[in-house]
């Protein structure tokens, strides 16, 4: 009698453990899937994955007017990746642009946008990265021109141009608009290419989304201005473009934008895509475009 009760209890305990385990695993799966969405729209792989190289194990050289950057390995390898990092250190890198050693990062890593990301999304992102296969691959040192090669100079840059901040919803706007603003500004970092910069590489938000030329990347004006921006595009045009890369004139996306679409916006669900469009069509029109030749 006693024995049977004990066996019963054991079975019951095993069942409970399995159930807890299953719930835990399902929650983890969920977290990782959410992290993947942030990874894709955030374009992390566009910089941190080399052509036909392993996912997130370090990317192609990034050529800028300041020199060449080598985006590092983000896989869980403890030596050459970020396997040893704590969750706090990862959050600090994205929200503050500071390394675990307390060094400032170059804004070629668009933490200047990711700073607006929620802790919830960053945790999901980390869960996703932690689940990737660890790859041993050390990124080369950046090759930057003087004086940009002096990392401590970034403290001055930060003091002038960078304030860590989370996304603040605008209570006078709809929930959809706020979701769109968050996706565009914090995760999608559309402004990192489409907003012009000053001579020290800081974004000029007075001309937000007014078009910019950075090295070889010529990202046009995407404000609703009818002459210089995309004011003539309907919402359907915009949605079609972000899903398929096909523009209203039948041309298709090229270069960096083709990557943004293939890996990011083409995979968004309808609600998030609609939110992005709601936000983009509400931007202040800007009547100029540095990418258009006179």
Partner 1 sequence: MNKRWFVAVMAAACISSAWADVKAIVAYRQGVMKSFGGHMQALKAILAEGQKQFQPNALFHGEAILGLAKSIPDMFPQGSEHRKSAAKKEIWKNFPDFTSRAQTLERLSQEFVQAVKGGDEAAMKAAFQKMGKEGCSACHEKYRKD
Say which entry of ligand HEC, partner 1, none residue 34 contacts (CB below 5 to 8 A, set by partner kind): none
Q: Tokens 């003091």 identify what position?
A: 159
Residues 229-248 that bind partner 1 (CB under 8 A): 236, 240, 243-246, 248
Torsion of CA 106, 107, 112, 118, to 10 degrees: -50
Supply the minimum distance, in Å, between the C-beta of residue 97 and ligand HEC.
Answer: 8
DSSP element (H, E) containing 15 = helix 2-41
Please give the structure tokens belonging to residue 157: 């840059």
Residue 211, Ramachandran bin (φ over 0: left; ψ between -120 and 50: alpha; else beta): left
Give the binding range for ligand HEC (CB under 6 A) out of 23-31, 168-176, 183-191, 196-204.
Answer: 183-191
Among 252, 284, 287, 292, binds partner 1 (CB under 8 A): 252
Among 76, 220, 224, 263, binds ligand HEC (CB under 6 A): 220
Say which entry of partner 1, ligand HEC, none residue 210 contacts (CB below 5 to 8 A, set by partner kind): none
Supply the minimum distance, in Å, between the C-beta of residue 259 and partner 1.
Answer: 6
Query: β-strand 212-214 against 62-64: which pairing, if any?
Result: unpaired
- Site residue total, partner 1 (CB under 8 A): 25
- 121 counts as binding ligand HEC under rule CB under 6 A: no
Asked if 122 contacts 91 with a C-beta cutoff of 8 angstroms, the reply is: yes
Whole-number Å distance between alpha carbons of 234 and 240? 10
Among 203, 257, 273, 275, binds partner 1 (CB under 8 A): 257
Whole-number Å distance between alpha carbons of 293 and 291? 6
- 258 counts as binding partner 1 under rule CB under 8 A: yes
Q: Which residues contact 128 (CB under 8 A, 6 or more apart)?
A: 31, 32, 34, 35, 36, 38, 39
Binding site for ligand HEC (CB under 6 A): 42-44, 46-48, 62, 69, 71-72, 74, 82, 93, 99, 105-106, 108-110, 114, 125, 184, 188-190, 192-194, 217-220, 222, 230, 241, 247, 250-257, 260, 265, 276, 280
């Amino acid at each position: 009698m006693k024995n049977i009760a004990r066996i019963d209890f054991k079975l019951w305990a095993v069942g409970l453990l399995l159930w807890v385990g299953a719930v835990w695993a399902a929650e983890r799966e969920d977290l990782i899937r959410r992290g993947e969405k942030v990874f894709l729209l955030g374009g992390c792989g566009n910089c941190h994955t080399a052509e036909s190289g392993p996912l997130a194990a370090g990317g192609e050289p990034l050529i800028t007017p300041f020199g060449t950057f080598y985006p590092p390995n983000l896989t869980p390898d403890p030596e050459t990746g970020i396997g040893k990092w704590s969750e706090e250190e990862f959050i600090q890198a994205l929200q503050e642009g500071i390394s675990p050693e307390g060094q400032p990062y170059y804004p070629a890593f668009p933490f200047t946008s990711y700073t607006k990301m929620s802790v919830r999304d960053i945790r999901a992102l980390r869960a996703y990265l932690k689940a990737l296969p660890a790859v041993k691959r050390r990124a080369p040192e950046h090759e930057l021109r003087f004086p940009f090669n002096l990392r401590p100079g970034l403290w001055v840059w930060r003091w002038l141009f960078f304030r860590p901040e989370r996304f603040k919803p605008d209570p006078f706007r709809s929930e959809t608009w706020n979701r769109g603003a968050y996706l565009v500004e914090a995760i999608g970092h559309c402004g990192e290419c489409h907003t012009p910069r000053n001579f020290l590489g800081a974004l000029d938000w007075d001309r937000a989304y007014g078009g910019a030329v950075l090295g070889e990347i010529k990202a046009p004006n995407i404000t609703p201005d009818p002459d210089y921006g995309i004011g003539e595009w309907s919402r359907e045009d915009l949605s079609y473009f972000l899903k398929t890369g096909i523009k209203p004139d039948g041309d298709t996306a090229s270069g960096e934008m083709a990557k943004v679409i293939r890996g990011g916006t083409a995979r968004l669900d309808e609600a998030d895509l609609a939110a992005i469009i709601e936000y983009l069509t509400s931007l202040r029109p800007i009547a100029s475009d540095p990418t258009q030749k006179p």
